[in-house]
Chain A
Amino acid sequence: MTVAASPAAPARPRKPRPSRVLIAGLVAVAAITAWAAWEVDFTLGPLLENFSNGWVVVEQFLHPNWSYLGNAWTAWLETISIAIVASFFGVAVGLVFAYMASRVTNRSTPLYRAVKWFLAVLRSLPDVAYVLIFVALVGVGSLAGILALFIFNIGIAAKLTAETIDAVDPGPLEAADASGAGTFSRARWAVQPQILPNFLSYALYIFELNIRSSVVIGYAGGGGIGQLIQVQFARFNFENVSAIVISMFVVVLLIDQLSQYLRRRLV
């Protein structure tokens, strides 16, 4: 508008047209969204229609049964124990796989490929699938939860640590090579001191993750607090579920704070 008023000013450059890739991308996203919405029968209608149903539950939730927490704390102890054992062994084994999944420490290409491939498969299954598998193998209980989280943790720990190993300072590696170090002493003395703070911080992060996934673990039969939620939910004791959920809030926050404090001291 103003350009026309003052002819001396240079003409405003033409607005670039949106690229074809962008348009194609947006159309694809819209199409996928429409199809997915149809596939899951997406609707918000029940929010209005069944709101009273939900409100009954919400009301029970607003009156948590605090006395139930007395029963909950043994389950919490179980969940935290499961998480400690599973993350300890998970990250320990994960570290070994991490060394094999980085070009820096693994100079054998076939082994490197095989380990990368194996870890991708390991990570692609959700934790609940592992719980179901181990419940079938060793029966319902904490052991199934520990084993499932153990396998699950190997995948995460190995991926995160391998990426850190990829990025280490090559100086110590060259020094180790120059002094004729073998694969193991090279990994132990040139790489491990560099990655140790990050590795420990990943271990704490994985421990946090394990606490968070305790609901899922217990629901599928792996013991701990999730099992308690499942039982109480099946009996429609929403006041008890509410108390457990609030305790979960507190526990997760406390553990996050503790782990953040420890991590800050490490890195």
Chain B
Amino acid sequence: MSTASTASETRTVRPEEPGKARATIGAIVLVILVVAGGYLSNADWGKLPDIFTEGGRYFSLMLKGLVQNPFSEPYSEYWSAALGGMLESISMAWIGTMIGAVLSIPMGFLAARNVSHPVVVQVTRVILNAIRTLPELVFAIILLLPIFGFGPNAGALALGVGAVGTLGKLTAEALEGIDPGPVEAARASGAPGSAILRWTYWSQVLPEVLAFWLYRFEINIRASAILGIIGAGGIGSVLSQAFRYREWDFIGILLFVIIVVTVLVDAVSGAVRHRIIAGSGVSDAKVEQDAATL
């Protein structure tokens, strides 16, 4: 550095470094927030070392469950309960996605500025935003448990209601991003409104929308586990039961099944998504980015 500046006297002066005041203030505010957060969260920080003392022991107990012969008692029951719960979770996620998908089509059209009347668009968007604000768990608690009782059916419906919010919004955004050419062509040839919607709007967004549905399915699998803790069935219910009785070998098996099945479903669903999107004119990266807000 110093050699460069002294060697060539004729060089232009090095520009001044931009000020760091804003970054510094930001950093200070952030540190204050984090420290205050650590204090106001009422967290019992003294228990932090327990993770290391207890963690290792529990982890080895979990691994112990995994390496046992899966065909001996009680491990055969553990494995079948885990796989059965996972299947139920996947079913809940699938039905939830289907409900969300079917309901989100009309909602998406109603919320698209280039399709519907501005007033309708605003009303629909408010509804979709309201749904997106609340987690599925709240729907399940408020609307579904009193009517449908505890069980996977209530869970699937809650996932469906939750999915409408995000899928409807993404469908509307996809519709707003279409190429207006085909719409004009169809209108010029005198196509009725329904045909315009079906053959120009819907055809253009279909690959993208299908990809969003698959993405939502992947998310619903994780969300179905969450619903399990209030008794909506699936692997979540089995998991919270196992935690209640501290059956660490069972917990190990359950976590293993969740991880493996989720990674597998993500891989399959991801491959199908890439295949659907390939050649549709929409970039893979854009879909991923949009879907990240699901």
Let me know if B292 is at the binding interface, CB within 8 A.
yes
**Number of inter-chain CB pairs below 8 Å:** 192
Q: A54-B143, A121-B263, A146-B43 are in contact. Are A81 and B152 (CB under 8 A)?
A: no
* Nearest 3 Cβ contacts at the A-B interface: A81-B41, A36-B91, A54-B147
One of B8-16, B51-59, B73-81 at the interface: B51-59
* B288 lies within 8 A of A163 (CB): yes
0 or 1 for each of B152-188: is its CB under 8 Å from A? (1 = yes): 1101100000000000000000000000000000000
Let me know if A100 is at the binding interface, CB within 8 A.
no
CA distance A197 to B289 in the complex (A): 15
* B95 lies within 8 A of A78 (CB): no
Query: Min CB distance, A108 to chain B, in Å?
Result: 23
- A137 surroundings in chain B (CB, below 8 A): 50-51, 54-55, 58
* B240 lies within 8 A of A37 (CB): no
Which of A46, A205, A248 counts the most chain B CB atoms within 10 A? Answer: A46
CA distance A132 to B225 in the complex (A): 12
Interface residues of B in 36-89 (CB under 8 A from A): 36-45, 47-48, 50-51, 54-55, 58, 87-88
One of B117-125, B132-140, B197-205 at the interface: B132-140
Interface residues of B in 176-230 (CB under 8 A from A): 222-223, 225-226, 228-230
* B88 lies within 8 A of A40 (CB): yes
CA distance A38 to B273 in the complex (A): 26
Let me know if B100 is at the binding interface, CB within 8 A.
no
* B153 lies within 8 A of A43 (CB): yes
Let me know if B274 is at the binding interface, CB within 8 A.
no
- A173 surroundings in chain B (CB, below 8 A): none
CA distance A251 to B161 in the complex (A): 21
Identify the closest chain B residue to A56 (Cβ): B146
Query: Min CB distance, A267 to chain B, in Å?
Result: 12
Q: A46-B148, A81-B40, A127-B226 are in contact. Are A143 and B95 (CB under 8 A)?
A: no
* A124 lies within 8 A of B98 (CB): no
- B278 surroundings in chain A (CB, below 8 A): none
CB-contact partner of A125 in B142, B240, B258, B293, under 8 A: B258
CB-contact partner of B47 in A139, A160, A213, A252, under 8 A: A139
* B38 lies within 8 A of A53 (CB): no
0 or 1 for each of A209-253: is its CB under 8 Å from B? (1 = yes): 000110110011001000001000100001001100100110011
Q: A82-B37, A85-B41, A138-B50 are in contact. Are A129 and B258 (CB under 8 A)?
A: yes
Let me know if B106 is at the binding interface, CB within 8 A.
no
Identify the closest chain A residue to B266 (Cβ): A124
Identify the closest chain A residue to B147 (Cβ): A54
- B130 surroundings in chain A (CB, below 8 A): 249
CA distance A46 to B43 in the complex (A): 42
Pairs A–B under 8 Å by Cβ, sample size 21: A32-B94, A33-B98, A35-B91, A37-B91, A40-B91, A40-B151, A50-B148, A54-B147, A81-B40, A84-B37, A132-B229, A138-B48, A141-B42, A146-B41, A146-B43, A167-B285, A216-B135, A229-B141, A238-B142, A242-B142, A252-B133
Let me know if A175 is at the binding interface, CB within 8 A.
no
Let me know if A261 is at the binding interface, CB within 8 A.
no
Identify the closest chain B residue to A200 (Cβ): B26
0 or 1 for each of B279-290: is its CB under 8 Å from A? (1 = yes): 000000100100
Q: A39-B152, A46-B149, A220-B240 are in contact. Are A78 and B40 (CB under 8 A)?
A: yes
Let me know if B107 is at the binding interface, CB within 8 A.
no
Let me know if A147 is at the binding interface, CB within 8 A.
yes
* A138 lies within 8 A of B147 (CB): no
CA distance A39 to B156 in the complex (A): 11
* A37 lies within 8 A of B95 (CB): yes
CA distance A28 to B259 in the complex (A): 25
CA distance A124 to B264 in the complex (A): 10
* A84 lies within 8 A of B34 (CB): yes
* A213 lies within 8 A of B135 (CB): yes
CA distance A141 to B47 in the complex (A): 11
Q: A128-B229, A136-B58, A215-B135 are in contact. Are A78 and B41 (CB under 8 A)?
A: yes
Q: A129-B255, A137-B55, A249-B134 are in contact. Are A51 and B147 (CB under 8 A)?
A: yes
